[in-house]
Structure 1
């Protein structure tokens, strides 16, 4: 799995991110109880088919800033994830080494000099935030 995919998964599937998912899951539970009855098996199946579509919609509206702020509140180390790609990756529990960042830069099609890690890091942070927004994350303009 790519590094950016890992970033997406850590943020979009964070415990607090799918705020509507528990209610969707709760809605699915009562539907599965009537599904035990033979007459309602077909409607439960059609309802279950629409449930993933409903749960997919809230996942695309993840408040990236809120998720990361909550993760920071639960993290023992104070990290500057708002401007630092290294700290963002640390917060997400990902490898933040230079080689990992170079790999991420390659994934995101960085055309600059990867030996200039400061410039690459600034570009990476902005690009990751922009890609999170493009993939359905709610990212404030000051983080893009």
Structure 2
């Protein structure tokens, strides 16, 4: 399984992952012609939404460590019991399409946290703006 797949699995399959009402879709501009949605996008749109922030809060309360998971990709991975090594973060960066210098781990880590939260939102997660 991919690193991001592990992240999604840990959050979306957590016992506290309750389906939340999905926000209403934004209306498309009148000039835009409707296009058929790819099957994966359509399935994600029909799947129940998971409140990512709430699940991570519960996990943080159950965890004995003080982790800065709201801002740190390393701490987020630790919270999820996923390998937070540089090699695994580089693999995640490659998986999510990071085009920066992976030797600049600080910049990569900031990008990774934002990209993970964005990708969770794209895959049916309700991610609060404070985590994006």
TM-score (normalised: structure 2)? 0.78
Name structure 2 gaps, 5 residues minimum.
21-42
Q: CA deviation at 1:141?
A: 1.2
Q: CA RMSD in A?
A: 1.5
* 1:2 pairs with 2:37: no
Structure 2 counterpart of 1:121, from 80, 85, 109: 109
Structure 2 partner of 1:110: 98
* Corresponding pairs, count: 108
Structure with the bigger percentage of helix: 1
Structure 1: stretches of 5+ with no match in the other structure: 21-52
Q: Show the counterpart of 2:67.
A: 79
CA apart distance, 1:102: 0.3
Determine which structure has greater relative contact order: mean sequence separation of CA pairs < 8 Å that are 6+ residues apart, divided by chain length.
2
| Rg larger for | 1
1:97 — aligned with what? 85
Q: Distance in 1 between matches of 2:107 and 2:19?
A: 36
TM-score, normalised to structure 1, is 0.72
Instruction: Give deviations 1:4-35, integer Å, cap 9, x for gaps.
Output: 00000000000110358xxxxxxxxxxxxxxx
